[in-house]
Copies of this chain bind each other. A is one copy, B any other.
Amino acid sequence: MEVTRKNYKDCLNTVYSAIEEADFLAIDGEFSGISDGPNVSALTNGLDTPEERYTKLKKHSMDFLLFQFGLCTFTYDQTKSKYITKPFNFYIFPKPFNRTSPDIKFICQSSSIDFLASQGFDFNKVFCHGIPYLNQEQEAQLREQTEERRNQHANGVGTPSYISPSSSKGPAHVPEEHRDFINRVIEKVEALFANSEKTLDLEPCTGFQRKLIYQTLNWKFPKGLHVETMETEKKERYIQVSKVDEEERRRREQQKLEREQEELNDAVGFSRVIHAISKSGKLVVGHNMLLDVMHTIHQFYCPLPEDLLDFKEVTMCVFPRLLDTKLMASTQPFKELITNTSLAELEKQLKESPFKSPQVGTAEGFPSYNTAQEQLHEAGYDAYITGLCFISMANYLGSFLTPPKAYISPRSKLIEPFFNKLFLMRIIDIPYLNITGPDLQPKRDHVLYVTFPKEWKTSDLYQLFSAFGNIQVSWIDDTSAFVSLSQTDQVQIAMNTSRYAESYRIQTYAEYIQGKQQEKEKLVQTAKTWGEDSWVKSHYTTSTGSSGFVYPRGLRKRSISPVQGEQEGGGDALITDGWSHYSYPDSTCNKKMKTDDASGQSNAEAVESKTSEGWLKTVGSSDSAAFTPIPDEEEIPEGTDPANNAEGTVTWQQAPTVHGRKGQKNKKKKSEAAETTPSLFEVPEVW
């Protein structure tokens, strides 16, 4: 269902009840751009820390506009054994509410706009008929303003219940140059009292003059008048004065109050849909959804916090349960079966064996999507497809149960390991951002930080390290890159060799991090000297914090409705994670799953005890390419790789040998499975 400013109010209740009845929700956003940074490969370095990535995305992506929001609700119909869907496609635009409301500026990136244009995106629907919105602070401000104005007027007309003690009852100060004008108005109003007309329209005038008129009339004629600002067709504002008795006056005041209230709700606009999603506490599914989540919070709740931990906290307030289908598809048992996790390809692969297309039907009154005719990059359609992918993958997990189940509910414990972990694009060794816990801290002692002249290309780095076998290059900027060696013991050799080099310089990853930390401290000190200058907002301010995990912090004062209490089905108890104690035989053989009945360990403990091990260690060599960041053309337009001045983009090289220690990991695994085959159903132990 397409929703614009024109039909938004009529649709709102339909949206509300669709959310209320749903078993889960799928969302997707379309933006006016992805990154205003120099180029994508610099923006998404393969060895970013989660803090760095968050800071970059916040800095380089939040000034774009989320201008189309897709919501698809999925409700399971037990009797028909299928999901009923209600897809919505909202067009969003920050049309200024009035002349004092914020005049939002947003950036458009021509490649993104051009891409959407090529997909048949209707920009007129966005810009001419988009639904407005306010974040929580803007909403509060507007409500305050309205209240204040109401009080001012009320004081003027002298309704005793509204008079504030400080309000002056004397005549308004009319500047010299406006006296004639105001005197003419008074004469006209006096004439109105004398004649049989009911209303008097004054000529259009400035806001200042209108203010003078209000003040003067309220003082001169405390009773019997209703004064109101109207607008001509040409948008010129003028004052209408009406003769009224006391009852009529009150009735009109009341009407005005209600109208103002409604206008205010209209201004809050699309944010009300997000509030409803948030309050429902339902599982919200998205594909590669980090940017969607960031934009949604930034646009409809509050500017994003500086600090990643604060962002996680806010996210849990707004979306208490998230699931990212790209992360799910990139994880065991799916990652071996799914070669391409872009949404379109994923959807195709999940139609084939061993997966099954889910049974879905569109609710009555909703246009049904045809997945054969792709309508990708319409947010409503993408949300719909994302939901389908989730159902297929969830149901596939049911095939491991004894006895197998064909339908797995979104409330099933089988799904929980995927909750609140958002896919991190193109980070080599950290697959996801963990919203409800500490992030993975992979060892990077095989990584070198190399600086060199800006003429250097990827091939020069290959040349330099040709003695070390396979390397992996992650460009940082024109003159620096991370180089991952295949063996950690090569690091010292490389360091020794480079000691006398003049054109380039090598540091270990640890030295690099230390240097950044020092840089950060220097900056903070300088900032103290220089005050709040904007240049202080460095990338690095929050990126290198290595202090222990302190989430959840004490909630700070923030006007976000906490919805965690509204979670259904047992709240915290549900989040207890039994997943890491499962072990699976080779998924291509007989699929059986046994639960570790002895599992009494809470998820929190699991995190505590295993974080220092890092995620990487759990990846066997057969899976080494799993998170190799092959650019996903669907998600981010290819940037200009500094390594390539010819015609394409040099993609990162695969590293066929891996730093993991498979044997060690298998030893560690508390597996009860009979078969310990080389291709175990491997789940990162940190879960």
* Contact surface of A with B, Cβ cutoff 8 Å: 32-33, 36, 65, 93-96, 99-100, 103-111, 113-114, 116-117, 122-124, 126-128, 145, 148-149, 152, 173, 175-177, 206-211, 229, 237, 458-459, 462-463, 469-470, 533-535, 637-640, 644-651, 653-654, 656
Question: How far does the alpha carbon of A122 sit from the alpha carbon of B114 in the complex, in Å?
Answer: 16
B470 x A177 contact (CB < 8 A): yes
Known contacts A99-B638, A175-B653, A207-B647, A123 near B114 by CB under 8 Å: no
A108 x B110 contact (CB < 8 A): no
A110 x B123 contact (CB < 8 A): no
A128 x B117 contact (CB < 8 A): yes
Question: How far does the alpha carbon of A648 sit from the alpha carbon of B103 in the complex, in Å?
Answer: 15
Known contacts A124-B123, A638-B99, A653 near B177 by CB under 8 Å: yes
A236 and chain B: residue at smallest CB distance: B633
Known contacts A459-B173, A640-B99, A152 near B649 by CB under 8 Å: no
Residues of chain B contacted by A646 (CB below 8 angstroms): 149, 152, 207, 210-211
A105 x B103 contact (CB < 8 A): no
Known contacts A107-B106, A124-B123, A177-B656, A211 near B648 by CB under 8 Å: yes
Residues of chain B contacted by A650 (CB below 8 angstroms): 206-208
A207 CB contact (under 8 Å) in B105, B127, B648 = B648
Question: How far does the alpha carbon of A644 sit from the alpha carbon of B214 in the complex, in Å?
Answer: 14
Question: How far does the alpha carbon of A651 sit from the alpha carbon of B212 in the complex, in Å?
Answer: 13
B649 x A99 contact (CB < 8 A): yes
Question: How far does the alpha carbon of A645 sit from the alpha carbon of B533 in the complex, in Å?
Answer: 28
Residues of chain B contacted by A128 (CB below 8 angstroms): 117, 123
Residues of chain B contacted by A104 (CB below 8 angstroms): 109-110
Q: How far is the CB of A527 from chain B (nearest CB, A)?
A: 12
Residues of chain B contacted by A654 (CB below 8 angstroms): 177
Question: How far does the alpha carbon of A65 sit from the alpha carbon of B113 in the complex, in Å?
Answer: 13
Question: How far does the alpha carbon of A173 sit from the alpha carbon of B463 in the complex, in Å?
Answer: 9
B109 x A108 contact (CB < 8 A): no
Stoichiometry (number of copies): 2
A175 CB contact (under 8 Å) in B36, B65, B462 = B462
Question: How far does the alpha carbon of A36 sit from the alpha carbon of B63 in the complex, in Å?
Answer: 13
List 27 A-B pairs, Cβ < 8 Å.
A32-B108, A93-B113, A94-B110, A96-B110, A99-B640, A103-B637, A103-B639, A104-B110, A105-B109, A105-B110, A107-B108, A113-B127, A114-B127, A116-B127, A117-B127, A117-B128, A123-B123, A123-B127, A123-B128, A148-B645, A176-B470, A177-B653, A207-B644, A207-B651, A208-B644, A208-B649, A210-B646
A105 x B105 contact (CB < 8 A): no
Question: How far does the alpha carbon of A177 sit from the alpha carbon of B473 in the complex, in Å?
Answer: 14
Q: How far is the CB of A650 from chain B (nearest CB, A)?
A: 4
Further contacts, 14 of them, CB under 8 A, given A99-B649, A207-B646: A65-B108, A95-B110, A95-B114, A96-B110, A96-B114, A99-B640, A100-B640, A106-B110, A113-B127, A117-B124, A152-B646, A208-B648, A211-B647, A535-B535
Q: How far is the CB of A209 from chain B (nearest CB, A)?
A: 8
Residues of chain B contacted by A145 (CB below 8 angstroms): 645
Question: How far does the alpha carbon of A535 sit from the alpha carbon of B526 in the complex, in Å?
Answer: 14
A237 CB contact (under 8 Å) in B211, B533, B648, B656 = B648
Question: How far does the alpha carbon of A649 sit from the alpha carbon of B126 in the complex, in Å?
Answer: 29
A36 x B105 contact (CB < 8 A): yes
Q: How far is the CB of A415 from chain B (nearest CB, A)?
A: 33
Known contacts A122-B124, A173-B463, A208 near B651 by CB under 8 Å: yes
Question: How far does the alpha carbon of A656 sit from the alpha carbon of B175 in the complex, in Å?
Answer: 13
Question: How far does the alpha carbon of A106 sit from the alpha carbon of B653 in the complex, in Å?
Answer: 34
A109 and chain B: residue at smallest CB distance: B105
A214 and chain B: residue at smallest CB distance: B646
Question: How far does the alpha carbon of A33 sit from the alpha carbon of B127 in the complex, in Å?
Answer: 13
Q: How far is the CB of A481 from chain B (nearest CB, A)?
A: 15
Residues of chain B contacted by A469 (CB below 8 angstroms): 176
Question: How far does the alpha carbon of A645 sit from the alpha carbon of B149 in the complex, in Å?
Answer: 9
Q: How far is the CB of A269 from chain B (nearest CB, A)?
A: 13
Question: How far does the alpha carbon of A270 sit from the alpha carbon of B650 in the complex, in Å?
Answer: 32
Residues of chain B contacted by A173 (CB below 8 angstroms): 459, 462-463
Q: How far is the CB of A434 from chain B (nearest CB, A)?
A: 31
Question: How far does the alpha carbon of A511 sit from the alpha carbon of B124 in the complex, in Å?
Answer: 51
A649 x B207 contact (CB < 8 A): yes
Residues of chain B contacted by A647 (CB below 8 angstroms): 100, 149, 207, 210-211, 229, 237
